[in-house]
Structure 1
């Protein structure tokens, strides 16, 4: 019996980011079919791969948009730093951590990238050291019912309720606020 194993070893920085990061520059130009420009930085990528991972890119590249015929497309309202990490997460690189998850999650939501959204959700549930309030706020902001449920199930005391309350309860998600009121009523018995 022969077992063949391919291992990729790379160095990571103090934030868990790969050094050097996966390249999407001109060095991969011959393997790409479109250039995405974000904050004047060019990312050489494959339309089909992005389209298979994101309904936004599927519409952009395969739909009847004018951009589907272009070789270079500018993306607005996107930070190059987080776009790099977002692309790396498509390829399974371990770039999601407490410092990067918010930015990656924002782009995964913006581009409707379900697998990346799921990776962020799993990270927040299983590994993140963010506060319960931070996680709950992200769950509400990005409509993650599993993360929201996980956070709410961790609320066991009056202090837990206080820790997740907003200064202005009117700004809170109505379902979360209702849950917290019910929890307080239950705890006061």
Structure 2
């Protein structure tokens, strides 16, 4: 899940004659991001600038993406805008410039939240409001939701909020046997500020989509698996069959593009769990190579 871009503009710093690394700005904190900006002079007209970031205060963020723009006083050189991707394993960005002028920089960095429950947008999504008329409680945490909206997306919630179902009359309705993080992801897939799964969450999303009868979440998962996933073809084939994703299944059958792959699939421990219709498709694919 993406947070709002975090922006910062530095002061101006003049050229210097230092050969060793010189810190231009110390570890300044800006909305949860700390950055040390430094420079090293290689020659009178060759300078290396380095930005070292720390975003440990942004809980649940695994990377930052965006850009850094370096500008010179009086436009001595054309401002340079550089794309950056900072991860837990790479928190530094370094760039060499053929100049030693007075410069400043600005950045615009977007946090990527791996844990939807930590994202600021998530708190807004399930906060108390006039539109929300009931509360779901998961692992002791409250999600303010709208009965009609949830009912329109899920037969499970339609029954839960039915006047004939006792729990539907409660001000706070507990939801058991699910983690707060996973349940929040499920609901977030069809909320206006939509959250999308990744390879580490898509299988759990499918499991919960089936349990809570949210067909739209299965479509969201199928789109991820079709367009962005790096999960291997065989595993995706089993997921497509188990959760009824026809477009993905068609792609996975095409992905069995040689005899060895088809045989490997048939020899898998999970092959017997496939539906008869999918087994026929795999068999037909086998015949294409014989």
Shared fold per TM-score greater than 0.5: yes
Change (3 A) 1:21 1:107: farther
Match of 2:244 among 143, 146, 150: 143
Give the C-alpha shift of residue 129 in structure 1. 1.0
Q: Could you tell me how far apart the structure 1 residues matched to 2:152 and 2:273 are? A: 36
Q: Computing the radius of gyration over CA atoms, which structure comes out larger, 1 or 2?
A: 2
Q: Could you tell me how far apart the structure 2 residues matched to 1:24 and 1:14 are? A: 15
Residue correspondence of structure 1 range 107-122 to structure 2 within 5 A: 107-122=208-223
Match of 2:262 in 1: 161
Q: Could you tell me how far apart the structure 2 residues matched to 1:139 and 1:105 are? A: 10
Q: Which ranges of structure 2 fall in alignment gaps of 5 or more residues?
A: 6-109
Q: Could you tell me how far apart the structure 2 residues matched to 1:133 and 1:80 are? A: 30
Would you say the 8 A contact 1:38–1:78 is kept in 2? yes
Q: Aligned pair 1:176/2:278, yes or no?
A: yes
Give the C-alpha shift of residue 171 in structure 1. 3.2
Give the C-alpha shift of residue 98 in structure 1. 0.9
Match of 1:101 in 2: 202
Would you say the 8 A contact 1:34–1:44 is kept in 2? yes
Q: Which ranges of structure 1 fall in alignment gaps of 5 or more residues?
A: 1-7
Q: Aligned pair 1:59/2:59, yes or no?
A: no
Match of 2:64 in 1: none
Match of 2:128 among 29, 32, 42: 29
Q: Could you tell me how far apart the structure 1 residues matched to 2:176 and 2:115 are? A: 27
Match of 1:86 among 181, 186, 193: 186
Aligned length: 180
1:126-178 deviation digits (Å, cap 9, x = unpaired) = 11111111211111221222221221122211122144342364333322222
Would you say the 8 A contact 2:253–2:285 is kept in 1? no
Q: Could you tell me how far apart the structure 1 residues matched to 2:270 and 2:158 are? A: 39
1:69-112 deviation digits (Å, cap 9, x = unpaired) = 11111122222111111122122423311111111121112122
Give the C-alpha shift of residue 36 in structure 1. 1.2
Query: Which stretch shifts more, 172-181 or 100-109?
Result: 172-181
Change (3 A) 1:155 1:107: same
- TM-score, reference length from structure 1: 0.81
Would you say the 8 A contact 2:185–2:195 is kept in 1? no
Match of 1:129 in 2: 230
Q: Could you tell me how far apart the structure 2 residues matched to 1:68 and 1:168 are? A: 39
Change (3 A) 1:15 1:37: closer
Change (3 A) 1:14 1:35: closer
Give the C-alpha shift of residue 57 in structure 1. 0.6
- TM-score, reference length from structure 2: 0.55
Would you say the 8 A contact 2:4–2:111 is kept in 1? no
RMSD: 2.6
Structure 2 residue matching 1:90: 3-state secondary structure: coil
More helix per residue: 1 or 2? 1
Give the C-alpha shift of residue 21 in structure 1. 4.6
